[in-house]
Structure 1
Amino acid sequence: MLANNFKKSVIALNVGIILSASAVQAADAPAATDEQVEVIEVRGIRASTEKSLNTKRFADGVVDSITADDIGKLPDVTIADSLQRVPGIQIRRSSGEGATINVRGMPQVTTLLNGEQFLSAGSLTTVQPDFTDIPSSLVGAMDVMKSTSADTLAGGISGTVDLQTRKPFSLEEGFTGAASIEASRGSYSKETDPKAMVFAGYNSGRFAALVTLSRDEVNLANYRLGSTNHGWGAAPAESGSCWYCPDVDMNGDGDTNDAEFSYVSYGMVNRFTERERTGASLSIQAQLTDEIQFSGDVFFTKMDDADRQRGLMADNAWGGHWAWQDQLDPIDRGQLSSGHNLYTAQDIILNAPRIVAHSESHTNDRESTNYNFEFSYKGDGPLSGKVRYITADAERSHTENVAQGYLTSGLAHGLRRNEGNGPIAANPNGYGPGTIPVRLNFKGDHPIMLTPASINGEVFGSNIDRYSVTSTYSENNFDEEANLDVLRLDGEYEFDTDHLRKMSFGARFGEREVSRDQYVLLAPLQNPVGDETVWVMWKDQGLAAFDTDGSGGVPSASAGDLTMGYDNLITFSGMPEGWIQKVDDFGPVNIGSFYFIDPAQLDDPFAFQDRFYPGNKRGSVPGSSYKVNEQTKSVYWRADLSNDNYTANIGFQYIKTDLEIIQNVIGDSICVNCPGAVAMDAGDVVTDKSFSDFLPSANLAFNLTEDIVFRAAWGKTMTRLDLGSIAGGLKISRARAGDELAAREGISPDLLIATDATMEGNPNLEPWRATNTDMGVEWYFSPSALLSLAVFNIQLESFIESSTWKMDMPDADGVVRREVTVSGLTNGQGGTMSGAEFAYQQALDFLPGVWSGLGVGLNYTYSDSESGREDFYGEALPLQDNSKHSGNAVLWYEKDGFQFRLAANYRSKRLAELSVPSGMGDTAIWTEPTTYIDVSASYDFHENFTVFMSGSNLTEEYESNYAQWKDNRISQNIYERRVTLGVRGRW
């Protein structure tokens, strides 16, 4: 690792150079020549379109570009939303906002900042950032490079995105300033959210500086309806020896050869995300001499967010309650490998043993600072070069905190408490003792879940005295830190020949280190009839913590033992004032009103858990904690050739990667009734691995005519490993055994048995590698018009995929009783991605009068892929999250200070994930097609002032998921319409 002292010395040296350059060069140096300073003034839709087309036309390879309409103004609200307008780019959303992207159907996309690697605090281990981290006002342009070039940092299989900040020398001489203020409001969230941006720049010709500050707050609605987790599924059979087989005639047809597709839990979730985001960038350029230029940049982002949920959940209480569905109008899906006939249904009666008012809060505090220092030399001779040093630090703290308010008593699934006088209901005032019938229907536009209208004359859920916090816990918390150092040297030698124009060469050393410390909160509970103290994660008032009958066996609430919370019944009516909310907002559906703990009270896990179970401490999860050091050494060579009819480049990049992976050995458990991963750290496992990649590339652009360009590209690509996917450990999921399994296997019903497991890290993974080929024709029939057609093929030589296998796993008492399904990442044997892209855009300035301000843009991408995986019926599956068809349509108008843009983005269905419900095997989870429509408009009411508005997701598009069969819908994510009004000034 580069020494901290070295880092500090370099930063101090460059700060000194900046200060001396600003004081001396601005005063004494002569004005720069036109060759030294390029001033680019881009304002408005038409100018932005022409600049982007100009970049594409004269690019070295296959490139699409987006340029900001004005200072601090990309075409859309977020970076990812703007990127989705590029042919071949598909985005994935977080709370309705674009968060990550696919290029040509693949997420293995490197994102660079001004041509080099950087750290994004929301995704420290990957090569693609979380774009919600980055305020769009800090970015002036974006290049999407779909072909590889020897001098571009390798790391993307299907493409590389280069985020470009404005450079001070691109400003007009003198002072430049800009500012904007705006307010946004969501159709569901009903909150008015502010955003402000300030920009200031100065350019003297020899010295220039600019600074941008951005601050925004946003509240986003993001409802979740239906299955609460696609991984918690099974096909319980009417007979069998598996732990989820109920041994009953579930559908009442007189035989026991059937199975029902089922999930553990269904719910209607009111979910809102609150984000506070700050961004700042500082750039300085100084022409130190006529030959030497210095550039320095600081790029800072900070985002604090809280994802808060309130959901009415009906579930089968896990063990022993899989026969809980009465399927109305069931559909026969054929025979399972076990010989049972599988049925699914879209109208179901859930005989729910448990109904909870679930509150949950996930928080993130994330921050990153990226520094870039560069000296470039350009003299009168053929040789030029630059040296660049990058250093960055980032950190992220994440918490998850849950409180489940039971409406049911717990008796329907054997959940009892004991106050020293024998077992009673875990929630004494809850509904019960039997199951509660809940109607779940997926046949309409939105799934709906209806509880009984009344029970014993009381409106279900209307009595706050029925609710108590029967379970609370905090898990999956982690602290992450990362640092990055890069030293890079680039050289260029020009030739005066008919074809060979220049040769470029360089070397680079990079080091990235990421550490993660994962933990849960553990509370000390004291046995009131003895001296025993135990540490507990799941503070579940129905699970036994202490063995008081002298048997020394596994505690059981039915055997007279004392449970967690034996003297601590936490009722909703006894909560502090303001902590309980009555909620009837479940987006587009109406299921009634219910009481919930305000999830904002869960933002601080320690404060919440200590209030009811004092003395919490951090309990380590060594299997999910790790440290990874990645070093890369690379060299490249590139030759550029051209004449009047063509431009071309050929070259290679050689990369050697060294990894040191430090994982933890999972020792003895340190708590009662908690996952096996919450344990002592029993030492380290250190894995050292190295691999090398030789990546040749070639790009050609041939001018068929003055306006028509034929383009071709070929190259080898690779993407760096996600450090988290090679370093995490084994996580075992366990559930309460329940009465039926307990009787069958002679164990306690309270014993937590292994149900499945996740292998979070695999140090033996190899990177994604591929060979890419591109060909296309581009017709530039005016400065603001393009018609193009391109074809591409990505031949995956190796890739990483999710897989499952069987392993013996111990129950909570350490005894191995069964095999369970383990999911994790492995290297696949290869696959393909091929397709075509069509694009047309034009300013219709040939139209008469006011119509001459119109412009249009259309693009369509066809991408067909093969992953090597198969679904339930053995049909071949595409790569995950790839839509075979995607497209954009944009209509814009610009004239006399008025601008208007209407845009639509379409994606066909895509494979969301490959689920493995117990008893079914691989089952494809698909997301249905979506179309998002956005609009923006502005008017220059003064030469320097503009009023503007925008609307995103005008139709309140939502995303529906189905399992294997189109008529087997299982869940929906509901997003809101957002409307923004603002004013922008420029001087």
Structure 2
Amino acid sequence: MNIRKAFDRPGLRFRLMLGAASIILPVVPAYAQGQAQDQAQDQAGPQQAASPDDAPAIVVTGLRETLQTSFSTKRHENAIVDSLSSKEIGDLPGQSIGEAIATITGAAADRGNYGPTEISLRGLGSLLTLTTFNGREATTGNGDRAINFGQFPSELFNGITIYKSQQANLIEGGVAGSIDLQTRRPLDYKKRQITAELKTNYNPYDDRVTGESAWGLRGTASYIDQFDVGDLGRLGVSFGVQRSSVSDPNEVYIGSGTWNACNPAIVTSGNCTAVSRAAGAAGTPFYLAPNSLSFRQMTAHEERNAVFGAVQWQPSSRIDVNIDVEYSKRKYQEDRHDLGLTETRYNLHNVQYGPDGKLLYAQGNSTLQSLSTLFQRRESYIGGGGSIAFRATDRLKLTADVSYSRTVRNDLTRSARLRSDPLDIYGNKTAINNQRVPYTYDARGDGFGPTITVDPRFNLNDPTLFSDDAQLTREELQKTDRIFATRLDLSYKMDGFLSEIDVGGRYSRRHYSSFDDLVTITQDDRTVDASVNTACRQPFPQTGFLSDAPGNPITSWATFNTLCQFRNYLGTEDPGRSGDLRSIANADVTETVWAGYVMAQYASKLGKTPVRGNFGLRVVRTGVRSIGLRSGLDVINNGDGTIRLQENGNFDTVTIDSSSLRFLPSFNANFEVTPKVMLRVAGYRSMSRPSPSALSAGREITLQDGSSFANVQDAISQIVANGSPRLKPIMSWNGDLAAEFYPNRDSLLAATLYYKQFSGGYIPVVINEPFQIGAQNVSVPVVQTQNSSAKSRVYGIELTAAHRFSWLPKPLDGLGFKTSYNYADSNFRNYDISLGDVTDAVTGATTPGMIPPAGLSGYSKHVFSGQLYYQLGKATFQAIYRYRSSYYQDFVGSGQQLRYVRGNGTLDLSFAYQIAKQADFRFQILNITNTPKVDYMPIYGSTREYQYFGPQFFAGYRLHF
């Protein structure tokens, strides 16, 4: 059965929830069989030792211990939380901290280049999720606010806490929730701990690549110790290091990032005739076609070095000083070889399409190209800070914290292009005798991948046929993200109903900048082309290309060595920067935040029922200053009463300021109905700011074809906004109702109902902006993104169940499971910027779009995680299955069309064996099902991209003392 369709069938939504409960709840009576042996655990609840008068304490270790720690944390927090402890994180199969987080209830990972990159909570997107390091905001190299979890090793973290409900002392920014990653506090460990682990990695897909090794290595070591320094008190140190060198196999089919609506009634020998937004909405038939498409073979390598360190000093019982530093440096390289159809809208005929506009079948003609690319990424993260906690009196405690975080990502892309032509490199006519080669696009099958067939008269593997339009490009894109923050918190303990008053303030300054430098060199000397073509040919680098994909007849083509082409054309492998880094794509955004809060914690009884929680208010002022460039144009008088526009290479600078003031009240109440049953109620207002890159002020002017126009406005085709600095945070009113049942330390049944009402989603709008072009001041409409006044909502339910069958007879008493499911329903709307609804910002009039809107970015209706484990003596087996249904994923920086990700599930396996008290062996398999990632655009079902990563195998040996 198709899992996505099964989950989405009408009527199944709540039946699935009830079905899950019907499976879980019958387990509960069986506990009676083992009640005697669990008596000591049941007296006090999870993670609380039974009193000496009740029964002797039962000491547990391993995976059972870590699950108990997570349940205890969940139970004793005032907010609704889920967590993972340090040992559980290390025991889970995965490359990074992202795989571990994806096992937490309601958390779902976005996969990219195999491993998880961004995390969504409760079916909502990473845009609405805040991630912090030790309670501090962290930077990212993506241009958004979503941490790239693939950057950080899981082994060097102490714990993860996800706050599902908000409280006033938490940093603002998580409508969906907040993820706090905790590094180690060495004095909390009480004893010295030394750990060393070496893993080897095997990727079967790399065995297909000629001359490549499928093996990689990953080594991790950590040291934690405590010292008595006499009159200076106690000192703790923690140090961890990891080095990883692995490959990232990837086979890709990809279409362009821009899709057009074409008129099927008009067949032309050129590009298809576009259907306007208004005409499509009025009923004019259309089909959706990409500008280009490519097949990509590539070899990828990644090196990652990470160092985490901490010093904790307690000179007395009243002072606690912590200093921590996190550093990660990642080097990533892709050697790509693309076969591209660069004009897939040219001469389209015999077209078939669906009622939604999905292109099902077409014949056309396109220029073919062999594109060789070397992509290199250098990304570094450094973060950390210092805090001091001073207990001035038995009631008053002051805490000050200063932090810094910086991420720098530098992408260098060098590409060499050769295209088809009527003549081969020797000047002979080809069998096609045309630059454009006939091809067929067929997406009528049941699979997600369209079948692309090229006219067999054009031999894709013949390098002599790629003979013209040689072009070399060097593009360097650099993003820098910095945050400096400081906060001061005061807590005062009280007697009575109010047990504590917390007051605090925070200041942060975030600066995001980027530049995009492009150097393009064309070559039209056929003799030189022939020489380089001959010198730089190489055999197709792999066997079995996309052999796992449905309906793909293209398995190889003529490929060339990228750096060889640069050397032979230019005499150098790197021509360097252009010398002028100014570009309309550049961003320079400064965000300043002042926040203050007051929060009261309380504890009392409602009748005989203990109740505790907190309530408070957080006030946040956000200021944004965005500096951008607009391309300069000269007005040329043609002498006949007409004008034309000509780029002059100059740029005009524009600065846009905006600000917002938001009030965020919150309330949490927890009722201990029985020693094993907890009810929770939470109400709060939350906010999530737009991505820094979405606040860019750049504008790109595209000119109309032609050279004679009556005025400046007529000469401008469109002006594209690279960002919208006036965007305000997305705001949400939220309510949560949770019930948790803790039968014993090894078991948990929990359900949470939640509701979110949004105000201020994002919609495309047309805004007239003033431009000075030449000596003329003109007003030109610009399509950009703006906050919507429309209301939208999300409601959902989270279910969690965990149990160890310790009441079963040996050896089955080591069997256990943990499973979670999240269902979310939303009517939030995101509109395609080219083909969706658009609103006039002045009049408020809306022009209907021709394709349906998407939901929240990252919103999945169904998210499931199932973990089955079995401990038998010194051996532990685990199987983890993760599933999320389809979701919309926006492009970083906004201003682009809708993109959807197909629902998918992955299965990971893990085996661990304790060889000795201080040594164990581990074997892990990731993505054993070889699940691809599939993207659709601009409507669901219209395939833009699919990627195959293959499974990955890890085997390791760990020593710990």
Aligned to 1:346: 360
Aligned to 2:144: 126
What is the Cα deviation at residue 430 of structure 1? 8.9
* Further displaced range: 50-59 or 83-92: 83-92
Q: CA RMSD in A?
A: 4.0
Aligned to 1:222: 250
Which of the numbers 74, 80, 92 marks the counterpart of 2:110? 92
Tell me, yes or no, if the aligned pair for 1:758 and 1:824 is still in contact at 8 Å. Answer: no
Q: Does 1:370 align with 2:388?
A: no
After TM superposition, the structure 1 = structure 2 runs for residues 522-537 of structure 1, keeping only pairs within 5 Å, are 537=520
Aligned to 2:13: none
Aligned to 2:220: 197
Which of the numbers 293, 297, 304 marks the counterpart of 2:331? 304
Aligned residue type for 2:868: L
Tell me, yes or no, if the aligned pair for 2:726 and 2:786 is still in contact at 8 Å. Answer: no
Q: Secondary structure at the match of 2:71?
A: helix
Tell me, yes or no, if the aligned pair for 1:583 and 1:596 is still in contact at 8 Å. Answer: no
Tell me, yes or no, if the aligned pair for 1:240 and 1:247 is still in contact at 8 Å. Answer: no
Inter-CA distance 399–757: structure 2 relative to 1 (3 Å threshold):
farther
In 1, Cα distance between equivalents of 2:725 and 2:448: 42
Aligned to 2:737: 775
After TM superposition, the structure 1 = structure 2 runs for residues 251-400 of structure 1, keeping only pairs within 5 Å, are 259-316=286-343, 322-327=346-351, 330-331=352-353, 333=355, 344-349=358-363, 351-378=364-391, 381-400=394-413
Q: Does 1:697 align with 2:696?
A: no
Q: Secondary structure at the match of 2:256?
A: coil
What is the Cα deviation at residue 666 of structure 1? 2.5
Tell me, yes or no, if the aligned pair for 1:622 and 1:681 is still in contact at 8 Å. Answer: no
In 2, Cα distance between equivalents of 1:814 and 1:983: 72
Aligned to 2:695: 726
Tell me, yes or no, if the aligned pair for 2:129 and 2:176 is still in contact at 8 Å. Answer: yes
Inter-CA distance 638–606: structure 2 relative to 1 (3 Å threshold):
farther
Inter-CA distance 880–950: structure 2 relative to 1 (3 Å threshold):
same
Q: Secondary structure at the match of 1:957?
A: coil
After TM superposition, the structure 1 = structure 2 runs for residues 44-123 of structure 1, keeping only pairs within 5 Å, are 44-69=62-87, 72-74=90-92, 76-104=94-122, 105-107=124-126, 108-120=128-140, 122-123=141-142
Tell me, yes or no, if the aligned pair for 2:874 and 2:913 is still in contact at 8 Å. Answer: yes
In 1, Cα distance between equivalents of 2:404 and 2:646: 35
After TM superposition, the structure 1 = structure 2 runs for residues 605-754 of structure 1, keeping only pairs within 5 Å, are 611=572, 617-643=578-604, 645-668=610-633, 680-731=649-700
Which of the numbers 125, 134, 138 marks the counterpart of 2:156? 138
Tell me, yes or no, if the aligned pair for 1:844 and 1:855 is still in contact at 8 Å. Answer: yes
In 1, Cα distance between equivalents of 2:220 and 2:513: 33
Provide Cα deviations, 1:465-518, integer angstroms capped at 9, x if missing partner: 223463434365223334322221111111122x21111111222222222222
Provide Cα deviations, 1:259-280, integer angstroms capped at 9, x if missing partner: 5432222232224432211110
Aligned residue type for 2:125: M
Aligned residue type for 1:403: A
Tell me, yes or no, if the aligned pair for 2:383 and 2:403 is still in contact at 8 Å. Answer: yes
Inter-CA distance 664–965: structure 2 relative to 1 (3 Å threshold):
closer
In 1, Cα distance between equivalents of 2:622 and 2:359: 51
After TM superposition, the structure 1 = structure 2 runs for residues 437-516 of structure 1, keeping only pairs within 5 Å, are 437-442=438-443, 443=445, 445=447, 447=449, 449=451, 451=453, 454-455=456-457, 460-468=459-467, 470-474=469-473, 477-497=476-496, 499-516=497-514
In 2, Cα distance between equivalents of 1:965 and 1:577: 39
**Structure 2, gaps ≥5 residues long:** 1-58, 208-213, 229-233, 276-283, 635-644, 710-714, 837-848
Tell me, yes or no, if the aligned pair for 1:606 and 1:616 is still in contact at 8 Å. Answer: no
Inter-CA distance 297–924: structure 2 relative to 1 (3 Å threshold):
closer
Tell me, yes or no, if the aligned pair for 2:200 and 2:215 is still in contact at 8 Å. Answer: yes
Provide Cα deviations, 1:538-562, integer angstroms capped at 9, x if missing partner: x344xxxxxxxxxxxxxxxxxxxxx
Q: Does 1:894 align with 2:875?
A: no
Tell me, yes or no, if the aligned pair for 1:362 and 1:401 is still in contact at 8 Å. Answer: yes
Tell me, yes or no, if the aligned pair for 2:89 and 2:159 is still in contact at 8 Å. Answer: no
In 2, Cα distance between equivalents of 1:923 and 1:380: 58
* Further displaced range: 471-480 or 200-209: 471-480
Inter-CA distance 622–962: structure 2 relative to 1 (3 Å threshold):
closer
Inter-CA distance 679–196: structure 2 relative to 1 (3 Å threshold):
farther
Q: Secondary structure at the match of 2:506?
A: strand
Aligned to 1:672: none
Tell me, yes or no, if the aligned pair for 2:260 and 2:274 is still in contact at 8 Å. Answer: no
After TM superposition, the structure 1 = structure 2 runs for residues 565-584 of structure 1, keeping only pairs within 5 Å, are 565=525, 568-569=528-529, 573-576=533-536
Q: Secondary structure at the match of 1:80?
A: helix
Provide Cα deviations, 1:667-710, integer angstroms capped at 9, x if missing partner: 359xxxxxx99974534322333222111111111111111110
Aligned to 2:258: 231
Aligned to 2:639: none
Inter-CA distance 974–477: structure 2 relative to 1 (3 Å threshold):
same
Q: Does 1:853 align with 2:827?
A: no
Inter-CA distance 361–352: structure 2 relative to 1 (3 Å threshold):
farther
Inter-CA distance 705–601: structure 2 relative to 1 (3 Å threshold):
farther
Q: Secondary structure at the match of 2:206?
A: coil
**Structure 1, gaps ≥5 residues long:** 1-40, 249-256, 335-341, 412-416, 418-423, 522-536, 542-563, 670-675, 748-752, 916-920
In 2, Cα distance between equivalents of 1:473 and 1:732: 25
Inter-CA distance 566–734: structure 2 relative to 1 (3 Å threshold):
farther
Q: Secondary structure at the match of 2:137?
A: coil
What is the Cα deviation at residue 135 of structure 1? 1.8
Aligned residue type for 1:511: R
What is the Cα deviation at residue 258 of structure 1? 6.5
Tell me, yes or no, if the aligned pair for 2:259 and 2:938 is still in contact at 8 Å. Answer: no
Q: Does 1:885 align with 2:845?
A: no
What is the Cα deviation at residue 824 of structure 1? 4.8
Provide Cα deviations, 1:159-182, integer angstroms capped at 9, x if missing partner: 110001121012232x32001110
Aligned to 2:728: 766
TM-score between the two structures when normalised by the length of structure 1: 0.77
Q: Secondary structure at the match of 1:288?
A: strand
What is the Cα deviation at residue 755 of structure 1? 7.5
What is the Cα deviation at residue 590 of structure 1? 5.0
Provide Cα deviations, 1:277-328, integer angstroms capped at 9, x if missing partner: 11101111111123112111111111121244322222327xxx6323433x
Q: Secondary structure at the match of 1:623?
A: coil
* Further displaced range: 387-396 or 164-173: 387-396
In 2, Cα distance between equivalents of 1:284 and 1:842: 37
Aligned to 2:750: 788
* Further displaced range: 717-726 or 194-203: 717-726
What is the Cα deviation at residue 58 of structure 1? 0.7
Q: Secondary structure at the match of 1:701?
A: strand
In 2, Cα distance between equivalents of 1:661 and 1:820: 20
Aligned to 2:557: 594
Inter-CA distance 114–703: structure 2 relative to 1 (3 Å threshold):
same
In 2, Cα distance between equivalents of 1:247 and 1:779: 59
Q: Secondary structure at the match of 2:355?
A: strand
What is the Cα deviation at residue 348 of structure 1? 3.8
Provide Cα deviations, 1:547-591, integer angstroms capped at 9, x if missing partner: xxxxxxxxxxxxxxxxx5577426553335869857762352452
Inter-CA distance 236–679: structure 2 relative to 1 (3 Å threshold):
farther
Aligned residue type for 2:559: F
Tell me, yes or no, if the aligned pair for 1:468 and 1:571 is still in contact at 8 Å. Answer: no
What is the Cα deviation at residue 128 of structure 1? 2.3
Inter-CA distance 520–43: structure 2 relative to 1 (3 Å threshold):
farther
After TM superposition, the structure 1 = structure 2 runs for residues 927-942 of structure 1, keeping only pairs within 5 Å, are 927-942=901-916
Inter-CA distance 922–113: structure 2 relative to 1 (3 Å threshold):
closer
Q: Secondary structure at the match of 1:627?
A: strand
Provide Cα deviations, 1:418-458, integer angstroms capped at 9, x if missing partner: xxxxxx98x98795326423333332546364555743xxx
